[in-house]
């Protein structure tokens, strides 16, 4: 029987990781893991995972990925994920909360998210492996008087290296067209306001542009109107909560800013092609 959750589980890395920044290396050699290791969860911080050996299958926001070493993946605290399977895996993971991340790196990560896993070439993997090895050694020097800043700075170096790999696969901000810049700004505002702001005009006001112009920019860049992207973001969160928590549909509707429960139910059915309750039942079978 599925464990009852009133909300999506949050992994706060506990114990020695209360400092807000951490790094560890793990080897999973086809041994049985406790049930909670496969449960869906969010992290309470930004997490980065370097797959050094083996194969691991993970699910991030309903998208399934199979990572073959060498590979890496970054997960934003908002993203819900779970492990599906693994085979002879060695992975190094490091994580940092907002307070411990370099402000410049944090800004870039917020702009990049969401992203998928990256396959690494041998040269890049070698560089990251050397940096990870040094950071792991530094993390053991707990008696050093400057241990915390040493750990923080070394982990931020790893974050910087990770970001640089993701940026190589995306268009630099200074080469974005005006349409792309507006669409990017809209996505950032959307992420912070989708539970309370549902109208394109509301987002246009926050961006100090007209609603028609915002729609033109977004549609030109993404192929979809603003209203569609707002609805998609809300429905993604609804699916997350239906799948990963035991909140009622009415509670989820309220949490997402819909006081009119029947309207939310109709909206979800049009979006998913099935009712919210049927979606939950199907995905828990």
Tokens of 69: 């070493």
Give, in order, the Cα–Cα distances in Å from 82 to each of 43, 56, 79, 163, 265: 11, 11, 10, 23, 27
Tokens of 201: 């005009």
Q: What angle do CA 12, 9, 34 make, to 5 degrees?
A: 85
CB-based contact 106:162 (threshold 8 Å) = no
CB-based contact 218:209 (threshold 8 Å) = no
Question: Can you give the pTM of this predicted structure?
Answer: 0.63
Per-residue pLDDT of 223-232, as tens digits, reads: 889 999 999 8
| Mean pLDDT, the chain, whole residue set | 84
pLDDT band for 76, please (50, 70, 90 cuts): confident
Q: What is the pLDDT of residue 172?
A: 60
Instruction: Name residue, tokens 């974005």.
Output: 176
Low-confidence winner among 33-37, 79-83, 224-228, 281-285 (lowest mean pLDDT): 33-37
Q: What is the pLDDT of residue 267?
A: 92
Three-class SS string for the chain? CCCCCCCCEEECCCHHHCCCEEEEEEEECCCCCCHHHHCCEEECCEEEEEEEEEEEEEEECCEEEEEECCEEEEECCCCCEEEEEEEEEEEEEEEECCCCCCHHHHHHHHHHCCCCCEECCHHHHHHHHHHHHHHHHHHCCCCCCCHHHHHHHHHHHHHHHHHHHHHHCCCCHHHCCHHHHHHHHHHHHHHHHCCCCCCHHHHHHHCCCCHHHHHHHHHHHHCCCHHHHHHHHHHHHHHHHHHHCCCCHHHHHHHCCCCCHHHHHHHHHHHHCCCHHHHHHHHCC
pLDDT band for 114, please (50, 70, 90 cuts): confident
Average pLDDT over residues 248-275: 92
Query: Which of 99-103, 108-112, 196-200 shows the highest mean pLDDT?
Result: 196-200
More confident residue, 53 or 63: 53
Question: Does 13 have pLDDT greater than 60?
Answer: no
Q: Could you tell me the domains of the chain?
A: 9-168 (2.60.120.280), 175-283 (1.10.10.60)
CA distance 133 to 117: 21
Per-residue pLDDT of 155-165, as tens digits, reads: 999 999 999 99
pLDDT band for 12, please (50, 70, 90 cuts): low
Per-residue pLDDT of 179-211, as tens digits, reads: 888 988 998 899 899 999 999 999 999 999 999
Q: How many CB atoms lie within 10 A of CB 84?
A: 13
Cα–Cα nearest to 229, from 266, 185, 273: 185
pLDDT band for 60, please (50, 70, 90 cuts): confident
Question: Does 269 have pLDDT greater than 90?
Answer: yes
Per-residue pLDDT of 132-145, as tens digits, reads: 999 999 999 888 88
């Amino acid at each position: 029987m599925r464990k009852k959750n009133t909300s999506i589980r949050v992994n706060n890395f506990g114990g020695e990781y209360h400092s807000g920044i951490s790094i560890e290396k793990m080897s999973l050699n086809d041994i049985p893991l406790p049930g909670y290791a496969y449960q869906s969860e969010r992290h309470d911080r930004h997490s980065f995972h370097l797959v050094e050996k083996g194969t691991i299958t993970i699910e991030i926001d309903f998208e399934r990925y199979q990572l073959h070493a060498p590979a890496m993946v970054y997960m934003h605290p908002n993203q819900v994920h779970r492990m599906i399977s693994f085979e002879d895996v060695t992975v190094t993971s490091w994580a940092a909360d907002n307070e411990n991340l370099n402000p410049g790196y944090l800004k870039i990560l917020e702009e990049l998210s969401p992203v998928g896993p990256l396959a690494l070439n041998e040269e890049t993997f070698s560089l990251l492996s050397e940096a990870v090895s040094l950071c792991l050694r530094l993390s053991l020097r707990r008696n050093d008087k400057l241990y915390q800043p040493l750990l923080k700075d070394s982990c931020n170096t790893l974050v910087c290296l990770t970001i640089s790999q993701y940026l190589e696969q995306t268009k630099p901000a200074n080469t974005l067209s005006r349409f792309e810049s507006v669409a990017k700004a809209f996505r950032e505002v959307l992420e912070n306001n989708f539970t309370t702001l549902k109208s394109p005009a509301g987002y246009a006001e926050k961006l100090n542009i007209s609603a028609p112009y915002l729609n033109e920019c977004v549609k030109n860049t993404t192929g979809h109107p603003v209203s569609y992207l707002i609805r998609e973001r809300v429905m993604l969160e609804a699916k997350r909560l239906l799948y990963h928590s035991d909140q009622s549909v009415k509670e989820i509707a309220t949490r997402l800013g819909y006081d009119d429960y029947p309207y939310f139910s109709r909206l979800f059915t049009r979006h998913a092609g099935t009712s919210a309750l049927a979606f939950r039942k199907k995905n828990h079978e």
